[in-house]
């Protein structure tokens, strides 16, 4: 009896002490900040100082004059994923620090250039880099980040540094192809959900894929595990992009940091929009009338378009696609047989990336 009692008490204690996903995420994010940010700062110090200033501003570290500020410095989701996968395969967070710097640099590169392409003027509640420093400096800052993403991996203290760099260059080309597809969607009226999936896996999935795969790679995982993480990253990225699409229509710009409904103004063929256009009811027919075409969507049509997309089932179908994506990634992680705590951290990250629309 005494033995049984002790067991019960131990189980109860473990359960009450078992950290919540939110707590796990907080600890993981804190570790990322502690390890990756100093490495990023050291890498930035090697760049042209004025280019580095634009990059530091983009990251939210400094204000326009280069003074340190406590602005919203981004969530470092991709580096956090890299550190988590490294630990999940038996390595240390330190193994994945060069990956963390690299994927955050690719992320910065893509945002710096995308904001120019999309003429977006606000990011994280501040002027975008091109708006603050001009298009030429923002182009150069993105270029410098792309170069840095390669050199930091080449310098990684690992005999897998070269293979890792090959993967980041490959995934960067996938990202560029996805961004190109996204651009052409704005002027195409025949975009299918298959087109969208390929675009989103490139534009958003490729870099999340690199984050997951390269964390495992530099921690010494076998090739099959690395490829499995890469696949998970693609699927997670697809789900994450659909979340972004949903927030772009029904999000709150106080939390997203960028103006809501701009995607509709640009007639973006986002996931909920495509689902709605794919229907056959009156809401779909009306949506086709006002949404297909070229040029900026008239301001008077924006709210109606959002309403029609929901009416035609686009919002619900997008939410279901996100939930399905989260599920398939979770199941894949389950099959890898990872240690419990590291497994729970990965699930917490997946949850944070896909839960915002529940």
Contact set with its own copies (CB under 8 A): 46-48, 50-51, 109, 113, 116-117, 135-137, 139-140, 142-144, 146-148, 150-151, 154-155, 161-162, 165-166, 169-170, 172-173, 176-177, 179-181, 183-184
| 80 or 165: CB nearest its own copies | 165
Say if residues 92 and 164 touch (Cβ distance below 8 Å). no
Q: Report in angstroms how near the CB of residue 188 gets to its own copies at its nearest.
A: 12
| 47 or 238: CB nearest its own copies | 47
| 171 or 311: CB nearest its own copies | 171
- CA nearest neighbour of 102 among 28, 177, 160, 165: 165
- CA nearest neighbour of 153 among 113, 109, 103: 103
Q: Report in angstroms how near the CB of residue 306 gets to its own copies at its nearest.
A: 25
Q: Report in angstroms how near the CB of residue 324 gets to its own copies at its nearest.
A: 27
Q: Report in angstroms how near the CB of residue 215 gets to its own copies at its nearest.
A: 20
| 78 or 113: CB nearest its own copies | 113
Q: Report in angstroms how near the CB of residue 111 gets to its own copies at its nearest.
A: 13
Coil, helix or strand for 232?
helix
- CA nearest neighbour of 172 among 117, 113, 225: 113
- Rounded Cα distance, 144 and 264, in Å: 32
- Rounded Cα distance, 320 and 96, in Å: 33
| 78 or 174: CB nearest its own copies | 174
| 85 or 149: CB nearest its own copies | 149
- Rounded Cα distance, 165 and 149, in Å: 9
| 78 or 315: CB nearest its own copies | 78
- Rounded Cα distance, 78 and 11, in Å: 34
| 132 or 290: CB nearest its own copies | 132
- Rounded Cα distance, 28 and 353, in Å: 14
Q: Give residue 339's region: left, alpha or beta (phi > 0; psi -120 to 50).
A: beta
| 122 or 151: CB nearest its own copies | 151
Q: Report in angstroms how near the CB of residue 187 gets to its own copies at its nearest.
A: 11
Q: How far is CA 2 from CA 7, 8, 9, 339, in A?
A: 9, 10, 11, 30
Q: Report in angstroms how near the CB of residue 127 gets to its own copies at its nearest.
A: 19
How many Cα atoms occupy the beta-carbon half-sphere of 60 within 13 Å? 16
Q: Report in angstroms how near the CB of residue 353 gets to its own copies at its nearest.
A: 25
- Rounded Cα distance, 303 and 250, in Å: 11
Contacts of 193 (CB under 8 A, 6+ apart): 271, 274, 275, 278
Q: Report in angstroms how near the CB of residue 170 gets to its own copies at its nearest.
A: 7
What's the angle, vertex CA 95, arms to CA 94 and CA 99, rounded to 5?
A: 100
């Amino acid at each position: 009896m005494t033995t049984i009692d002790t067991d019960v008490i131990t189980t109860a204690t473990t359960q009450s002490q078992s950290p919540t996903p939110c707590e796990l995420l907080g600890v993981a994010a804190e570790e990322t900040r502690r390890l990756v940010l100093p490495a990023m700062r050291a890498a930035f110090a090697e760049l042209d100082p004025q280019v580095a200033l634009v990059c530091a501003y983009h990251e939210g570290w400094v204000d326009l004059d280069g003074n340190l500020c406590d602005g919203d410095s981004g969530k470092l989701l991709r580096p956090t994923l890299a550190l988590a996968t490294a630990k999940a395969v038996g390595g240390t967070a330190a193994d994945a620090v060069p990956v963390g710097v690299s994927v955050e640099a690719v992320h910065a590169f893509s945002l710096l250039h995308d904001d120019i392409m999309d003429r977006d003027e606000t990011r994280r509640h501040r002027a975008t880099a091109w708006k603050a420093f001009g298009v030429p400096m923002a182009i150069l800052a993105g270029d410098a980040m792309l170069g840095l993403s390669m050199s930091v991996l080449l310098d990684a203290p690992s005999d897998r540094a070269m293979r890792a760099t090959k993967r980041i260059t490959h995934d960067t080309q996938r990202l560029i192809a996805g961004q190109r597809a996204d651009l052409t969607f704005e002027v195409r009226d025949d975009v299918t959900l298959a087109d969208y999936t390929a675009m989103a896996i490139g534009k958003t999935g490729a870099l999340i894929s690199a984050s997951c795969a390269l964390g495992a790679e530099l921690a010494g995982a076998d090739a099959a595990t690395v490829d499995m993480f890469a696949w998970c990253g693609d699927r997670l990225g697809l789900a994450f992009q659909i979340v972004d699409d949903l927030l772009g229509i029904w999000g709150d710009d106080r939390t997203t940091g960028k103006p809501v409904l701009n995607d509709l103004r640009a007639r973006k063929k986002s996931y909920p929009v495509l689902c709605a256009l794919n229907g056959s009811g009156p809401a779909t027919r009306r949506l086709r009338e006002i949404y297909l075409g070229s040029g900026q969507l008239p301001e008077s049509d924006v709210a109606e378009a959002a309403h029609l997309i929901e009416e035609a089932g686009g919002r619900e179908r997008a939410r279901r696609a996100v939930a399905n994506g989260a599920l398939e990634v979770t199941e894949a992680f389950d099959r890898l047989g990872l240690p419990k705590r590291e497994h729970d951290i990965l699930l917490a990250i997946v949850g944070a990336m896909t839960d915002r629309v529940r």
